[in-house]
Amino acid sequence: MLCLFSDDEEAVMKRGYVFIALATLFFSTMEIALKVVAGQFNPVQLNLTRFCIGGLVLIPFARRMLHRRGVRLEASALCRFALLAFLGIVVSMTLYQLAVENTNASVVAVLFSCNPVFVLVFAALILRTRIRGHHTLALVLECLGILILINPFNTHIGIMGIFFTLLSTATFALYTVLGTKLCARYSGVVVTCCSFLFASAEMALLVALSRLPAIADVLGRMGLGLFADIPLFSGYTPVSLVMMLYICVGVTGAGFAFYFMAMEATSPITASLVFFFKPALAPLLAFLFLHEAIPFNMVVGILLILAGSLVSLIPALSTVPMLMAGRAWAWKRSRA
């Protein structure tokens, strides 16, 4: 490394690895924190709070990226952000919170980390992306890992929780694929920030509608009482307030901020290692803090999912040294 990078560039890379470690830690504790407050907050109430605060935290990063790229947000883009926000945050993250409430936090964390499986499928169907040999092998390994982890013939985990997790993962993957072109133009941090803020406004509207007596009555008769008369400020205790602050400021705000800073300091490929480490770290943290058991089939499933992620990442990671050398050359030239 010393032969490739100047002292300044090497310091930036080191900071990038620290950002990756911090993002991994925050993202790996997300399901644990959500599990602790499960049942104390309405799912829409919790998501409205966390994504509103998370979006506000990301505004400085989004503004800096827009300035760096020399682009402005157009009306047509704002409409697409609103649609993406509804799919990827309002729908997907509500299902995600329901998943956490209905099964083990470690199971939700591992299954949601299989998001790339769904992304590849939707990318092939919608964007006509070519699926290469290593993608196919990664899909097979991760699907096998999911099957073994769920253990459908002798499962001891909540079936509804699994259903909500897979549905949440699929809708979030669809959100990712549909937002690809917007990310290419405005960057991932801008798309994420706008999605968070638009989703917060949409959920606030849902909360307002849910309080109308006629709508609340219909939802109750349909068995959807959870989404009728949604509260905004109930469920707070000294403990739940601390956890809510951690979820909003730590997991959602700082977690995404560190992730995007890691991408800026290293590369998107290197930063994606966050989602490679999470399936291994999250169950361990759930075991330590929630005392959730890690059965043998979960260990095997996690190993297969990690193997699939590694197979998918290796071709991309092999280009990192070349990319870093190019960045070092550009850095030195700009300082000359």
Q: pLDDT digit string (tens) for 218-248?
A: 988 888 888 889 998 888 998 899 999 999 9
pLDDT > 70: what percent of the chain?
A: 86
Q: pLDDT-based confidence at 5, cuts 50/70/90? A: very low
Q: How many CA atoms lie within 13 A of 73 on its CB side?
A: 17
Do the Cβ atoms of 265 and 15 come closer than 8 Å? yes
Vertex 285: Cα angle to 282 and 289 (nearest 5): 140
* Among 19, 10, 14, CA closest to 262: 19
Per-domain residue ranges for the chain? 7-335
Confidence at residue 263, expressed as pLDDT on a 0 to 100 scale: 78
pLDDT bracket for residue 274 (50, 70, 90): confident
Q: What is the mean pLDDT of residues 187-212?
A: 93
pLDDT at position 155, please? 56
Question: Which of residues 164 and 269 earns the better pLDDT score?
Answer: 164
Residue 63 pLDDT > 90: yes
Q: Which of 164, 105, 140, 168 is nearest to 298 (CA)?
A: 105
> DSSP assignment of 226-285, as one string?
GGSS--SSTT--HHHHHHHHIIIIIIIIIHHHHHHHHHHHS-HHHHTTHHHHHHHHHHHH
CA distances from 335 to 324, 330, 331 (A): 16, 9, 6
Mean pLDDT check: name the lowest of 125-134, 154-163, 238-247, 275-284.
154-163
Whether the pLDDT of residue 13 is over 90: the answer is no
Residue 95: pLDDT above 90? yes
Higher pLDDT, 247 or 151: 247
Whole-number mean pLDDT of the chain?
83
DSSP designation for 103: S
Angle between the 296-317 and 115-126 helix axes, to the nearest 10 degrees? Answer: 50
Query: What per-residue confidence (pLDDT) applies to 66?
Result: 93
Confidence of residue 91 (pLDDT cuts 50, 70, 90): very high
Of the listed ranges 2-6, 82-86, 138-142, 209-213, the one predicted with least confidence: 2-6
Sign of CA dihedral 18, 168, 239, 205: positive
Q: How many CB atoms lie within 10 A of CB 209?
A: 15
Supply the pLDDT for residue 2.
37
User: CB of 247 within 8 A of CB of 235?
Assistant: no
Picking from 18-22, 167-171, 313-317, which range would have the lowest pLDDT averaged per residue?
313-317
| Interval 303-328: pLDDT, tens | 888 888 777 766 655 554 544 555 45
pLDDT-based confidence at residue 8 (cuts at 50, 70, 90): low
Cα gap 307→321, rounded to integer Å: 22
pLDDT for position 200: 96
- Measuring CA to CA, which residue among 34, 16, 38 is closest to residue 26? 34
Please report the pLDDT score of residue 7 as a whole number: 47
Distance CA 88, CA 115 (A): 12
Average pLDDT over residues 279-290: 89
Mean pLDDT for the stretch of residues 54-70: 92
